[in-house]
A and B are shown apart, each in its own frame.
Chain A
Amino acid sequence: MLAIFKREFKSYMRNMTGPIFILFLLLFTGVCATIFNLLLQYSSFSYTIEYTSIAFLIIIPIITMRSLSEDKTNKTDYLLFSLPIKTSSIVLGKFFAIVAVFSIPMIVMLFYPFVLSAYGHMYYGAGYSAMFALYLLGLALIAICMFISSFTESQVISAVVSLGFMVFLWVLPFLIAILPDSALVSFICIIVCEGLISLLIWLLTKNPNVAMIAACILVIPTCAIYFFKSVWFKNLFPTILEKLSLYSRFSNLNSGYFDIKDIIYLLSVTVFFLFLCVQSLEKRRLN
């Protein structure tokens, strides 16, 4: 894992992807800090952090686009599979290399509240907890984008799909607010999600019969429950989305209300998507 980490980290720093990522994140933070802390003179760094999270929509897909898809294009993945290392070590090595690059601007950011404290009273608690929340959000988004990267050989497709997904995650709290709370809408949305799960099974197994059976297992009970207890579906889908929304959790942490539940959720998302990355590579190795 350490060898892969070193190789990837050096590669990021040598081919300019890493410095450009650091540049954009620091530039965005600098602009936000200038607006909120220098010009509007806010004592809290949370506003800066909240707006800095928007930069993730663009910069995280850029840094993760080559993480797993490049090996696929160059066929170096077969070389990696032939080495006596676990697939999880490959994924973790690559993940920690991106995290190391991501940590550099975050470390620089740690000094900003200190600098500003020379001019008045800075709210350290809220500021640093917001930074920690931003870091955890970044880890979760990196894991998600790496998983997307594992699907495709093309870096451009990986970046575009990741960008689309990032935008979706960002607008999710706004979508939840406008989503109708009726049972029928929730029922339809859940059926669509179950359809997508069946499609995923079909993609994984390449067997339409298995996908059809899975669809029946998922859809028939849902329809039955809706038929007998449609009230259970009322507002169900918006509630599920609200619980799943990464940016809602980040906003909670950023508001000065630091809940371990939100931290565990963000870490869970990171772990789950890294696990999916491992499975994605395992699938290639097995087939």
Chain B
Amino acid sequence: MDNQNVSVESREALRRRRAKTTKNGLYIFAVSAVVLAVIIVVNLLVGLIPSHITAFDTTTQKYYTADPETKQYLSNLDQDVTIIWVCSESMDDPTITYFLQEYAALSPKISLKRLDPVDDSAKLKPYIEGLDTELTEDTCFLIVESAYRHQLLLLTDLYFIQNELIDQYYGLGALPYTYVLSNEQYYQIFTYAETAGTASRYYFYAENVLTKAIEYMTMENIPEDFTSSRAMVEEPSLSEPLLPHMTLTHALIWAAIFVILIPTATIIIGLVTWIKRKRR
């Protein structure tokens, strides 16, 4: 009888313990889920703020910021221009989004649109008609459109790729379908040499390309010898010295300090502290 009572009691204790574990576990899970939900909501709300308000251009050359000349040009823009950013969510480039939002904020005449290369392929068909290009998930390009014509800008047009090793520039807008006009005329504004090799440095070059494209799109008649009337951001040049006073001797001295002296000093300090402690 006593044994039976003990068994019933221990079963009851076990049941209570399990109930307590379940209760505690559910409480912890629920609280964590609530905190996670709050964090997600905060991030989503912050995500709704336009990038040109939340983001800063920390590059010395201000790659992602329109220069005063562009700002003035855009504020005087009298034609409606639509910039369509064709890119899937997975291929999104936040720097381009930020840059486009900055353009839209500078002129009420500029409107932005976002299309998916696959889901909106029917809408995009008129723009790529006659071109040797396929719309896939990886396709990313810009369409600058006005009442007169439209133009396609490939992602490669917006980046200036520099190869330091062979001292030559990579192609920019070298692809034959870079510029397409609705009246079937074809102009290639930019000519760059295309060379083989491994690119080592990238420059965000969208301001030159995009501002020129807007200027080009808003002209009613394009002269045969069209060149942009505006001075643009200078192309990054390889002749520009990076660290001109750095000689090999100085480089070796600093390499020894960075790689040997500073780490060794750290470990010596650590060892001294450790030995002192051991002696005590």
Contact = CB atoms under 8 A, between A and B. Distances in A.
Interface string A56-83: 0000000000000000000000000000
Contacts of A105: 266
A201 B137 contact: no
Contacts of A128: 58
Contacts of B246: 38, 41, 116, 119-120
Contacts of A16: 270-271, 274
Contacts of B57: 256-258
A272 B35 contact: yes
A234 B20 CA distance: 42
B195 interface: no
Interface string A22-47: 11101101110110011111110000
Contacts of A116: 243, 246, 254
Given A259-B51, A272-B36, A207 B29 contact: no
Interface stretch (A150-158, A219-227, A276-284): A276-284
A181 interface: yes
Contacts of B24: 205, 283, 286-287
Interface residues of B, number: 61
A27 B21 contact: no
B58 A126 contact: yes
A259 B55 contact: yes
A12 to B, nearest CB: 10
A89 interface: no
A258 B58 contact: yes
A255 B202 CA distance: 10
B42 A119 contact: no
Interface size class of A (residues with CB under 8 A): 35 or more
Contacts of A165: none
A261 B244 contact: no
Nearest to A248: B94
Contacts of B147: none
Contacts of A40: 164
Contact of B56 (A30, A31, A200, A258): A258
Contacts of A252: 94-95
A146 B245 CA distance: 45
Interface string B233-257: 0000000011111100011001100
B269 A260 contact: no
A206 B17 CA distance: 11
A37 B60 contact: no
A190 interface: no
Contact of A204 (B29, B42, B259, B266): B29
A20 B90 contact: no
Contacts of B164: 40
B54 A259 contact: yes
A138 interface: no
Interface string B20-35: 1110111011011001
Nearest to A269: B39
B90 A206 contact: no
A114 interface: no
A120 B242 contact: yes
B274 A43 contact: no
Contact of B266 (A22, A41, A43, A235): A22
B133 interface: no
B242 A41 contact: yes
B262 interface: yes
Nearest to A202: B25
Contact of A129 (B22, B58, B63): B58
B254 A210 contact: no
A84 B259 CA distance: 46
Contacts of B25: 201, 203-207, 210, 283
Contacts of B185: none
A124 to B, nearest CB: 7
A262 to B, nearest CB: 8
A85 interface: no
13 contacts: A16-B271, A19-B273, A30-B255, A30-B258, A30-B263, A34-B255, A119-B246, A125-B58, A204-B25, A205-B26, A242-B89, A264-B43, A268-B43
Given A26-B258, A181-B137, A283-B28, 11 more contacts: A16-B271, A33-B258, A115-B254, A116-B243, A121-B243, A206-B18, A238-B90, A242-B89, A257-B98, A259-B56, A264-B46
- The 5 A-B residue pairs whose C-beta atoms are closest, nearest first, are A19-B270, A205-B25, A30-B258, A204-B25, A120-B243
Interface of B: 18, 20-22, 24-26, 28-29, 31-32, 35-36, 39, 42-43, 46-47, 49, 51, 54-60, 63-64, 88-90, 92, 94-95, 98, 119, 137, 164, 241-246, 250-251, 254-255, 258-259, 262-263, 266-267, 269-271, 273-274, 277
